[in-house]
């Protein structure tokens, strides 16, 4: 009788484990399916860096929504250790581009070259608080919120580090850097080009082997 009870207990345990494994697999399958249908996930996975833009400018009301999404990004101790400047003035963009062309004459040889911000009609400049050692991370999160918000509204973007470095390291560009009116203690970190896409780039491969779960 005792052996029968032990046998029944063993069978019950096996059935329970089997059901648990099956339920786990079903939950994982459901989770994957839901993620594919999740608009936020889809927005992240479909977003591409855009390097060709239509001349149509991005309206300021639309940009304001994008900027509001940006400043609502997570940030350390709510320091909001960023300064943001939005430029959609063609005179500014064309003016700094002329300085760039003088320093980089080969760039101007491209017949499609219009400005140093991938020809985008709107540029957002982001500066970080140098006194806070996590400010660059905060500014990165700020930018990510903006580019994802923009993409959800059909607006492309491209993060540009070289353009910001050019402006901070080229004496001839000092006039335009000054116009951004970045306060003392802050430094121009990078900028983001915004505009309506004039291309549909393919996704570049990502190395999933760089991800590991540690048991």
pLDDT tens for residues 26-48?
555 555 556 657 999 999 999 99
Contact 125, 84 (CB under 8 A): yes
Q: E strands within 63-147?
A: 82-87, 122-129
Cα distance between the two ends of the chain: 42
Instruction: Tell me the pLDDT of the chain averaged across its residues.
Output: 89
Using DSSP, state whether 144 is helix, strand or coil.
Answer: helix
pLDDT value at position 36?
56
pLDDT tens for residues 60-114?
999 999 999 999 999 999 999 999 999 999 999 999 999 999 999 998 899 999 9
CA separation for the pair 215, 158 (Å, rounded): 37
CATH of segment(s) 60-195 = 3.40.109.10
pTM (2 d.p.): 0.83
Q: Is the pLDDT of residue 164 over 70?
A: yes
CA separation for the pair 31, 147 (Å, rounded): 26
């Amino acid at each position: 009788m005792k052996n029968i009870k032990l046998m029944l207990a063993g069978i019950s345990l096996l059935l329970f484990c089997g059901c648990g494994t099956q339920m786990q697999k079903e939950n994982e399958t459901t989770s994957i399916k839901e993620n594919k249908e999740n608009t936020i996930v889809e927005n992240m996975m479909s977003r591409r860096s855009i390097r060709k833009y239509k001349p149509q400018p991005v309206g300021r009301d639309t940009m304001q929504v994008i900027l509001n999404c940006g400043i609502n990004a997570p940030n350390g101790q709510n320091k909001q250790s960023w300064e943001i400047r939005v430029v959609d003035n063609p005179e500014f963009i064309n003016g700094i581009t002329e300085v760039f062309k003088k320093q980089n004459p080969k760039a101007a040889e491209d017949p499609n070259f219009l400005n140093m911000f991938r020809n985008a009609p709107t540029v957002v400049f982001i500066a970080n608080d140098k006194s806070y050692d996590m400010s660059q991370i905060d500014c990165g999160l700020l930018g990510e919120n903006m580019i994802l918000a923009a993409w959800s509204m059909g607006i492309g973007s491209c993060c540009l580090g070289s353009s910001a470095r050019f402006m901070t390291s080229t004496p001839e560009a000092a006039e335009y850097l000054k116009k951004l009116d970045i306060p003392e203690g802050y430094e121009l970190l990078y900028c983001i080009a915004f505009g309506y896409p004039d291309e549909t780039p393919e996704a570049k491969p990502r190395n999933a082997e760089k991800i590991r779960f540690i048991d």
